[in-house]
Structure formats: C-alpha cells, structure tokens
C-alpha cells in the first residue's frame, strides 16, 4: 500500500467518524427541540422543580443542531473529497477547517488580551437582565439561582448588580439569599459583610484552576485541526500526480 493510499484511507475513516458524530449530535438536537414534551416528561420523573431546568436544557438542542450540522458537512466534504479524489471538495474542507482554526485562535487571543473589555461587555449586556428579568421571569431567575448556588457567587460583579432591580423593589429592598451566604434576609449591610464574589470572577477563578485541562483540550482540538488541514492539503497536491501514475 502506497503512502498516498494509506493517508487517503486514514482521511476517509477520520472524516467518517466526524460525520457519524455530527449525525448523532444533529439527531439528538432535533429530538430535543422538536419532541420537547417527551423530553420534559423524562426529566419530570426526577422530582419537583425540574421542569424549569429541563426547559432551559431544551434550548441546548438548537446548539447541538448547529454543531452537528457543521460536523456532518465537514465529515461529508472530507470523506467524499478523499474517496472521489476531488480537489474541489478537499479545498472546501481545508478552507472551513482553516476558518474555524483562525476563529478559535482569534477568540483565545481576545479572551486573554481583552479580558477587561469582555468583562465590561458582559456587564453591559447581563446587568440589565438581572435588573429587569431576575425575579420576574421564572426561567431567568432559575438559571441565575442555579449559577449562583453552584459557584457560590452573587450577580455578575457583586450584590450591587441587584440595586433598584425588579427583585430588589419587590422584596422590600433585599437581595437574593446567595448574596448573603443563604441568610434568611439579605440586606445591603449583610451582603457587604458577607463578601460574596461576583459570578464573573468566580468563573475566571474556575478557569484558572482548571487551566491545564482547558489548555490540554484546546491543544488537542488544535492538533486535530492542523492534522486534518495537512492531510487534506497533501491529498490535494498529490491527486494529479497519483492519477498520472495510475
């Protein structure tokens, strides 16, 4: 077996795995999004109060559809491009992977260099949500309660994010219990003395603690993408020569 044939088979098998994984994610995403009633019934058997959590999880279906569709397209292009030795399909596959790779690098650079800008942007977007929708919309309230309880945090920056909010004005000027370490009544004085951090800083701390894992996963994904681009470009450049040899 020649080197070209070996790499071609590896390319087909690799992209077949991507195609099947994408199809699985796509199928799960469609099921979660379309047949939400059955999905909610499954979660409803776990106990009371799970409906709101399940309702939020259903929204993940749209994300799974997007990721699954992208993987299906990539797997199809790579598999068919290698099997049919199509330079057009291979270059399209290479271009899509390259765009994804550049987007990931750009996102990582922005996250590292402009973390303060990202914090300001999130503050400007999420703080109004806390002020107007927390306490008034069950799904938003449940989502934030779960986040604050899990990370042991309060608001995005601190308890002051709830000043003059819907929750604050409709609960006698008090804050969520998570801002006072679950005290029965959470006033500004208790919240100040509790010193509960904001969720944004807690998320950053969590990422720093798991930097090795996050970095390892990111490096693994980047290595796979680089390998896919190298193999697809190798096949692209060798197709004409291989055809002439045959």
The domain tally of the chain equals: 2
Residue 84: inside a domain, yes or no?
yes
3-state helix, strand, coil in the chain (%, to 5): 80, 0, 20
Q: Give the range with max mean pLDDT: 40-54, 107-121, 150-164, 199-213.
A: 150-164
Residue 91: inside a domain, yes or no?
yes
Q: At what angle do helices 87-113 and 115-133 cross, to 10 degrees?
A: 80
* The pLDDT value given to residue 45: 42
Q: Would the pLDDT of 8 be above 50?
A: yes
Q: Would the pLDDT of 160 be above 70?
A: yes
* pTM of the predicted structure, to 2 decimals: 0.56
Say which residue, 231 or 47, is predicted with more confidence.
231
Q: Do residues 52 and 81 both lie within one domain?
A: yes
> Which residue range is the domain that position 67 belongs to?
3-114
Using 50, 70 and 90 to split pLDDT, how confident is the model at 59? Answer: low
* 3-state DSSP assignment of residue 168: helix
Q: Do residues 106 and 159 both lie within one domain?
A: no
What's the whole-number average pLDDT of the chain? 79
Tokens describing residue 192 = 């100040």
- The rounded distance, in Å, linking the Cα atoms of 6 and 13 is 11
Average pLDDT over residues 108-114: 71
Say which residue, 207 or 167, is predicted with more confidence.
167
Using 50, 70 and 90 to split pLDDT, how confident is the model at 119? Answer: low
Q: Do residues 169 and 107 both lie within one domain?
A: no
Average pLDDT over residues 197-204: 83
* The pLDDT value given to residue 175: 93
Using 50, 70 and 90 to split pLDDT, how confident is the model at 56? Answer: low
Residue 166: inside a domain, yes or no?
yes
Residue percentage of the chain with pLDDT more than 90 = 11
Residue 237: inside a domain, yes or no?
no
* The pLDDT value given to residue 47: 43
Tokens describing residue 59 = 């929204």
* The pLDDT value given to residue 186: 92
Q: Do residues 110 and 138 both lie within one domain?
A: no
- The rounded distance, in Å, linking the Cα atoms of 79 and 13 is 8
List the end-to-end C-alpha distance of the chain, in Å, as a whole number. 14
Residue 242: inside a domain, yes or no?
no
Of 73, 97, 95, which Cα lies nearest the Cα of 22? 73
Residue 171: inside a domain, yes or no?
yes
Residue 178: inside a domain, yes or no?
yes
């Amino acid at each position: 077996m020649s080197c070209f044939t070996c790499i071609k088979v590896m390319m087909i098998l690799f992209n077949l795995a991507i195609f099947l994984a994408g199809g699985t994610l796509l199928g799960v995403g469609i099921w979660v999004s379309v047949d939400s009633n059955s999905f909610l019934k499954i979660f409803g058997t776990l106990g009371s109060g799970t409906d709101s959590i399940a309702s939020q999880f259903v929204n993940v279906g749209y994300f799974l559809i997007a990721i699954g569709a992208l993987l299906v397209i990539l797997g199809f292009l790579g598999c068919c491009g290698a099997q049919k030795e199509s330079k057009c399909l291979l270059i399209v596959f290479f271009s899509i992977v390259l765009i994804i790779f550049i987007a990931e690098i750009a996102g990582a650079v922005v996250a590292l260099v402009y973390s303060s800008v990202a914090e300001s942007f999130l503050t400007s977007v999420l703080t109004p949500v806390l002020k107007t929708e927390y306490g008034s919309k069950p799904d938003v309230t449940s989502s934030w309660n779960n986040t604050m309880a899990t990370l042991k945090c309060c608001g995005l920056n601190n308890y002051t994010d709830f000043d003059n909010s819907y929750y604050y004005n409709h609960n006698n000027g008090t804050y969520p219990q998570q801002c006072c370490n679950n005290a029965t009544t959470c006033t500004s004085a208790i919240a100040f003395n509790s010193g509960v951090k904001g969720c944004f800083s807690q998320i950053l701390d969590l990422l720093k603690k798991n930097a090795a894992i996050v970095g390892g996963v990111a490096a693994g994904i980047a290595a796979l993408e680089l390998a896919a681009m190298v193999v697809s470009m190798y096949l692209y450049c060798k197709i004409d020569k291989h055809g002439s040899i045959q």
